[in-house]
Amino acid sequence: MRNENGLVELDSYNRPKVCEVCGGVMVFQGVGEYQCEECKAIAYDDYGKVRCYIEKHKGATAAEIEMGTGVKQRVIRNLLKEGRLEVAADSKVFMHCEICKKEIRTGRYCPECEKNYHRRVEEQQRLERSISMQGFGLGQEEATGEKRFRRER
């Protein structure tokens, strides 16, 4: 999604743009926090609200966070999937690995499944590389020493 300035809209997390107190411009301060450049009022986007709530209520469930912040559980789960939030170690965990369903604290996969995923991608890379090294591939090798090597043989 692009906004009126042609910039890619960074988030859909209800970013505060205008100060509710004085109508001033809200300036991004980091980690979901915004401050009015006029009256210095602080406001949070959904990410900031959830992050603050989790800091104060360690071990909160998604339902409790939704009740406390008004941020929808779907949005909370998205934040977790994007790795922007991490569930506290002592939390009643509400994230599950999308592959093996094991309980996780952030992201979409448990560390093992993530590693396995990367191993598969790497294996695929090796396969593609070995195919192109055998001369079936186009590009790169054509420009390098490959041709000369073949001629010498």
31 binds Zn ion (CB under 5 A): no
Cα maximum dimension of the chain: 79
76 binds Zn ion (CB under 5 A): no
Instruction: Choose, by CB under 5 A, the member of 25, 31, 63, 100 that binds Zn ion.
Output: 100
CB of 82 to Zn ion, least distance (A): 18
Nearer to Zn ion, 17 or 147 (CB): 17
By CB under 5 A, the count of residues binding Zn ion is 14
The Cα angle at residue 95 between residues 91 and 100, in degrees rounded to 5: 125
Instruction: Choose, by CB under 5 A, the member of 22, 25, 63, 131 that binds Zn ion.
Output: 22
Helix-helix angle 46-56:62-69, to 10 degrees = 120
CB of 103 to Zn ion, least distance (A): 10
CB of 67 to Zn ion, least distance (A): 28
* CA distance linking residue 67 with residue 88, whole number of Å: 18
Instruction: Choose, by CB under 5 A, the member of 35, 36, 91, 94 that binds Zn ion.
Output: 36
* Residue 5 to residues 1, 9, 33, Cα–Cα distance (Å): 11, 10, 22
Q: Is the Cα dihedral 116, 118, 120, 122 positive or negative?
A: negative
- State the residue for tokens 């569930």: 87
CB of 109 to Zn ion, least distance (A): 5
Residue 135 phi/psi, 5-degree rounding, is 95, 5
131 binds Zn ion (CB under 5 A): no
Write out the residues near Zn ion by the rule CB under 5 A.
19, 21-22, 24, 36, 38-39, 41, 97, 99-100, 102, 110, 113
